[in-house]
Each structure stands twice: as structure tokens, then as C-alpha cells.
Chain A
């Protein structure tokens, strides 16, 4: 039997059991439209790649991490100082988490500004927004796991803010903390969220998101119908280009991890006073700074509650984007209003994040 015959027979054997031919046919027929905004298509792939990096490095960290108040900090220090390449794995995990959220934001705004959320991609948008929320949940829960001074007090502040949510605040704060205050129960709970509950939901939702993208095909700008554009085969042409981008991101990750290893800080001491200049991760800074800036009372309303209501309203407007920012086939609709909201949000997040970081 020749090599070609052996290859064909092996493929047939697996195809009979797994239906490989369907996947191959789908890959053969999948195309990517070529237009000035094609580069934006890479950002979804970068986010997916970084999620893979997170899963891989997270699993390696799990081999040594111990989720108890007494051992968490020391186990992370052990990873950083004693485990072969432990420093690299942990630093990549931390840097990759931040890059992932950054690229998820870029992906989301690129979809928004190119109005790719429009019919029939409403569910793709909703699943994407849910994924961004999950990524931030990963960030919030993972931040506490090294059990250092900064992460301990930042979690205290974060759960305090959650506790001010109208009606459900106290219940939500107690649910997150596993008690009245941040402690051993919080660490165990956050660990369970971070390594089990959130990954399970995320994997399912990533699958759905990709499935929806395949179902509706790649979106094109509203003034450039797909049938008028030339196309590139997804596999191998686009895939290889995406692979080059992934390699580039990997080089960036490696450089960040080697030149700026993620610091460990000091072990959390619940009885110590909160360190000066405490603040959350950068992707929560805009909200954090808004809460800091708002007066305690605005007219008859409590300032903090008003800010939370504002965040809630903005989130609702954003999530419901495909349903109110509709664009008709003739081009009429609320595209310009949606772009205006998008520009406002980008300006707000950018300015307040910078202010929160430097002030």
C-alpha cells in the first residue's frame, strides 16, 4: 500500500466515524471577503488564540497552585522562584489575560463601528458581549488568587461596590465573598469560578459564537455587499495569515513576560491598613474613577447609586445595540446614532481609564 492510499484509507476510516468530510468541505468552501476593513477580522482570532494560551498556562499553574489563605501566596512564589519556567508561565498567564481583554475590546468596537452586529448577527453580538463579561469575570476572580496585599484590598473594594447595587447588593456581595468579608471562603469561591465555572460557560459560549459566525458568514461593510467583493479562501490562505499574527502576538507576550515579569507583591494581611493608591485592574479603572469622582449626593440621589444606574443603562443600550441601531437594506436607519454612542463610549473609557491610572 502506497503512502497516498494509506492516507486516504485512514481519512475514510475516521470520516465514517466522525464525519470529517463535512468539516473538510466546510473549510474548502469558507471564504473571507477582501475589502479595506479585512484586517479587523484578525482580532476575533487573536482573542481566541489568547483564550487558548490562558487555558494552557492556567492548566500548568494548576499543577502547583494551592487555593488556601495559608498556602496561596507561597505556592505562587514557589511557582515564580522554584518551578522550572514557572515565572514564564505565570507571567504569560497574567499578561495574556490583559491582552485578551484589550483585544476583545478592539474586536467588539471593530464590530460596532463596521455595524457587523446588524441582522442576522444579533445573537453573535449578544454572545460576544457575554464573552467579554466572562473575560472580565476571569480577570476579577483571577486577580485575588495570588492572595497578595493589592489583590486582597482591590477585591474588598470591588465586592464593596457590588454590594451597593440596588436591591440585590448585599446578597450579591455575600455571594461573591462567601461571607461578610473577603477571606478564606472568598478565595475558595473565586478559585472555583476561575478554574471551573467560568471556563465551562466560556467554552460553550465560544463554541456558540464561532458556530454563529460560520452560520451567518463574515460580515461586510453595509455599503459593500459580499457578492460585489473578491474573496480569499479561509483555509489555508486566511488561516496562514492569522497564524502569522498569532506568532506576532506570541512574540509580544514572551517579550512582556521576560522583560516585565508579573510581580508578586506582599502576602495579604487582612489586619494591615489598605496600601496607598489601591486600584483595580485597568479594565475596571474607568468605572472605578467615575465612582471616585461622583459626589456623595447628586440632587436627591445617592451619588454611587446614580453612577451604578448610569453604568447599567449604558450596558443595556450597548447590549441591545442590534435591536435599536437597525440599518435597512437601503442604508437608512440609526447607523450614525450608533456610531455616535460608540465614539462616546470609546472616549469615556479611554479618558477615565487614563485619569484613573494617573490620578
Chain B
């Protein structure tokens, strides 16, 4: 009872007549949970575009009388029911004509997509516990996606999803795991996104979709990964593994070797050795296991050779030797290593051999250039020592000549 009384008094205080938005003025003065929206709204993207509380909730914001301001006759809708929130937001966000005025490049199919998502379908089926717009975008302090403080900014999407999906209690009725976020935080994708600040690195929505969120089916995993790793997907589709892994009972395409949320840095340990991924299906001594070992050997050999060249060139450079040409060549060598790693996904050693051979040739040439530069450095030092010695002898000879000349006088 206390809040409406204060609200009433404040709205009639002298000077309040000048208030532009009575919703904010009055709610800011309330001492309970109803104060929240007024405090949050200053950061809201809608307010930044000139919209106000009344544009969503209806009512008359110019009226200082709460009864008139929140009058249903003035279109006041109040707080929508949780299940009604998507439709409530869609009133504007599904209208191209309306959205064109504020954000002409923004899509207007979020509501349609949401209805196809697991969240939307469950909501339609009467499960109000699923995520709606405000669970991801927040409410009253809704920020643009590009705002780094927004919960849907690329840097925060995974954490936002984890608020529900890492909550065992919330997920228990759906019988789905809750370790995705923990696994994702060990992945190369998380490292690229969170540690290197690469906003193009994938997080949950990149693979699962955002408004139309649903888990990719086994047969579509490769297509999801391939949306970024295009060339890998093309080679994988030509490989013998495609038919086996990407069928309905195959186990998940790329996931079979690389996992899903915990995608780690690939290494040749995945190919050869007792703990290799290949050994899970191919016994040691079989032709495929042999091919995998051979390809791992090539990759390791090329990587080692390139690293050795890099070390030698770096030493030469630190000694002041000019080796920039060889260093540029070394970049080509690294590109060949990348090509070889790519070619691996065809699972045909012959396709990998070409970049490996090209890379090895570069590694050898740059190693030779580095070794030559280091030998040249030693030669220069020796040359310098000999020259300084000869100069010293010449100085000494002149000194002796002078002494003889001056002592004769």
C-alpha cells in the first residue's frame, strides 16, 4: 500500500508537471521492485532511439495521474505474461514498416524463427520455463547486439546460454546435459573468442542458431562445421569417412574425431599412437592405420623442419644478418603445412604428399640460407679480426717509423 501512496504524492509534487515521461519519473521514486525498470531504462537501445515505456506497455506517459497514465482505455497493457513475451516483442520486431524507421537492416523474422525453435515449440506447448526474448536480451536494459555490454554480444552469448543450460535443476526435466559451457571453455573456439578477442569465432548461436535455436542433427554436423571450415568440408565429403560418419547412424561427422563443444587444437597424436582417434576404429597393422601413421609422420617432419629453419633464421637475424628473403619463403613453407593438414581430411596420402614435398623443399632451402648466413657471420668476424690485426700492425709500424725519424734528429 505504501508504494502507490508515495507514487500518488510524488506525481502531484510541484514541478513534476514539467516531467516529459511520467512513467520514469514515478517509477524512479518507488522504493520497491517496480523501481527497477526506471533505473535500467537509461541504457536501453529503445530509449536511445526515442521510444519510451508507453511504446511497449501502452498508456499515457504525459499524464501525471497514475490512474490516467496506466488506464486501459489509453491502451495500457501492463506487464505481459511470460508466455506472451515473444508475441509482445514481435508486435514491432516482425513489422518491416515499423523496423525500417529505426533499424532498416535488422531482420524481422525473429518471431517466425522462434516458433520453429525448441524453445518456441515448447512454449507453444505450454512450457513457460523455456527461454523467451528477455532471457537472452534482458528486459528494460536491452542493448544492441554490437554493444559489448549486451548479453547477446558475441563475447557473452555462450555465458548467456549457460545461465540456463548449465543449471542442472532447470535442465533436469528435459534430460539434457549441462556440461556444454564447461567443455566449450576448453575449446579452440573459446580461446579465439575470449582470449584473442576474435569476434568471428563461433559460440553457441553460430552452430545452433539463435532465434531458431535447435541442436544440429547427426547428418548435418559436417554442414554446420563446413559453414566456416569450407575447404575441410569439401575434402571430407570426398573421403571414405563421409559415408560412414555422416549417415544417420554414423555418429556425427566432424564430431567423431574433433568432438562438439570441446574442440581442441588438432595434433598428429590424433592420427598415430595408442591414444589416437584413428585407433578407435582401425586396429594397428591395418592399411588405414598405416596410412594415418605415415601422414602423421609427414606432418611432424614438415613441422619440425620448418621450426628448425625458423630457429636458424632467427639466430641469423639476431646476429644482424639480412635473411628477410628466406623468412618470406618460410611463410610459404608454413602455408604448405596448412595445406597438408587440410589435405589430410581427404584421407588420401597421395593428396597430402604434394604440399608436404613443397613445404620440405622450402624448409631445406631456408635452412640452407640460415646456415649460410651464420657461417657468413663467422667469416665476417674472422675477417674483422684479421683486418684489425693488420691495422694494428700498420699503426705500430708508423709509430716505429716516427720514433726512428724523430730520434735521428
Contact = CB atoms under 8 A, between A and B. Distances in A.
A313 interface: no
Given A255-B384, A259-B384, A81 B322 contact: yes
B66 to A, nearest CB: 55
Interface string B374-409: 000000110110011001101100110110011000
Contacts of B401: 240
B325 interface: yes
Contacts of B384: 254-255, 258-259
B321 interface: yes
B320 interface: yes
B320 A263 contact: yes
Contact of A240 (B320, B383, B402): B402
Given A240-B398, A247-B395, A251-B388, A258 B324 contact: no
Nearest to B399: A244
Nearest to B406: A237
A237 B402 CA distance: 7
Interface in A233-275: 236-237, 240-241, 243-244, 247-248, 250-251, 254-255, 258-261, 263-264, 266
Question: Chain B: interface residue count, which band?
Answer: 20 to 34
Question: Chain A: interface residue count, which band?
Answer: 20 to 34
A77 B324 contact: yes
Nearest to A256: B384
Given A244-B399, A261-B321, A254 B405 contact: no
Contacts of A237: 402, 405-406
B395 A87 contact: no
A244 B388 contact: no
A254 B388 contact: yes
B320 A251 contact: no
A89 interface: no
A285 interface: no
A323 to B, nearest CB: 40
A100 interface: no
A80 interface: yes
Contacts of A250: 391
A316 B300 CA distance: 69
A87 B322 contact: yes
Contacts of A263: 320, 322
Contacts of A248: 391, 395
A254 B389 CA distance: 12
A251 B405 contact: no
Residue with the greatest number of chain A CB neighbours at <10 A, chosen from B322, B325, B381, B394:
B322
B368 to A, nearest CB: 14
Nearest to A74: B325
Contacts of B406: 237
A209 B392 CA distance: 31
B322 A80 contact: yes
A240 B400 CA distance: 11
Contact of A241 (B321, B324, B394, B402): B402
B322 A260 contact: no
A258 B405 CA distance: 36
Interface string B172-194: 00000000000000000000000
A239 B402 CA distance: 10
Contacts of B325: 77, 81
A264 B387 CA distance: 25
A64 B395 CA distance: 34
A221 B359 CA distance: 71
Contacts of A259: 320, 381, 384
Contacts of A244: 395, 398-399
A244 B398 CA distance: 7
B405 A261 contact: no
Contact of B322 (A254, A255, A264): A264
B398 to A, nearest CB: 5
A263 to B, nearest CB: 7
A315 to B, nearest CB: 36
A254 B387 contact: yes
Contacts of A254: 384, 387-388, 391
Interface string B319-338: 01110110000000000000
12 contacts: A241-B402, A243-B398, A247-B395, A248-B395, A250-B391, A254-B384, A254-B387, A255-B384, A255-B388, A259-B320, A261-B320, A261-B322
The 8 A-B residue pairs with the shortest CB-CB distance in the complex, in nearest-first order: A258-B384, A261-B320, A80-B322, A251-B391, A258-B380, A244-B395, A247-B391, A251-B388
Interface of A: 77, 80-81, 87-88, 236-237, 240-241, 243-244, 247-248, 250-251, 254-255, 258-261, 263-264, 266
Interface of B: 320-322, 324-325, 380-381, 383-384, 387-388, 391-392, 394-395, 398-399, 401-402, 405-406
Given A77-B324, A244-B395, A254-B391, 16 more contacts: A80-B322, A81-B322, A237-B402, A240-B398, A244-B398, A250-B391, A251-B388, A254-B384, A255-B384, A258-B381, A259-B381, A261-B320, A261-B321, A263-B320, A263-B322, A264-B324
